[in-house]
Chain A
C-alpha cells in the first residue's frame, strides 16, 4: 500500500530565508511524486512532479524538490521564501507499477512565512 508522511504540521520561516518542507513516501514499486499547494478556500494547485531522470525537479513559483530514492524522500525547497508562499502544502505519491491513477496524499504541512 502507498503512503506519504509529512512529519511537520507547520514550518515557520522568515521572508528571504530558504525553506524546506519534508516528505517521505512508501510504495511497493517505483513512485510518481507530486507537490501541491492549497490556499484558503481553494483547491489543490499543482507545483511540481518527479517522474524519472534528474533527482532535482523545478516547478512553479521558484519551488524545487529533491528526490532521494535511498531515503525515500521528496523534500520541497525554495531558496528564498516569500510571505505569499504561506499556505498548506501536500506531498502525494502514485505507484507507477500498479497502473492505478489515484494519488495518496500526506497530511499536509502549513508553511508560515513571516515578514
Chain B
C-alpha cells in the first residue's frame, strides 16, 4: 500500500537555526498538509497546499513557516528561525481529490523536531 514518507525521523537543531522537514506524499494525491503534535497534546493543523499554493493555514503558521513543493514528489516545511516552542512531532499528510472532497488524509510517521 502506498505510504507517505518523511525524513528525517528525528531532527535536532539549535534555537534560531533554520530547519527543513521533508515529505514524499502518495503519488496520485493532490492535497498536502502539515500538522504538528507537541508532546502530550493534540494534533494541530498547520497548513494545507493544493495546486502549488497554500489553500488554508492556521494561526500557528506564521511568517516563520513556509511550505514548498520543489519538484513533482517532495513537499517541504521550512521553519526559518526555530524557537524552543517549535519542538514537536511534525506530520505530513496527503489526500486525493479537490476542494470539499471526502477522502481521508494519509499520514507519514512524522519527524520529531527537538530545538535546543
Which A positions have Cβ atoms within 8 angstroms of B?
32, 34, 36, 41-46, 49, 51, 90, 96, 99-108
Contact = CB atoms under 8 A, between A and B. Distances in A.
B91 A43 contact: yes
Contacts of B45: 102-104
Interface of B: 4, 6, 31, 33, 35, 41-45, 48, 50, 55-56, 58, 91, 93, 95, 99-102, 104-110
Main secondary structure of the interface of A (DSSP, over half): loop
B4 A43 contact: yes
Contact of B42 (A43, A46, A100, A108): A108
A43 B109 contact: yes
B56 A102 contact: yes
A96 B100 contact: yes
B33 A102 contact: yes
B105 A46 contact: yes
Nearest to A108: B42
B55 A32 contact: no
14 contacts: A41-B109, A43-B110, A44-B91, A45-B107, A46-B106, A96-B100, A99-B100, A100-B48, A100-B55, A100-B56, A101-B56, A101-B99, A102-B56, A103-B45
B59 to A, nearest CB: 12
B95 to A, nearest CB: 7
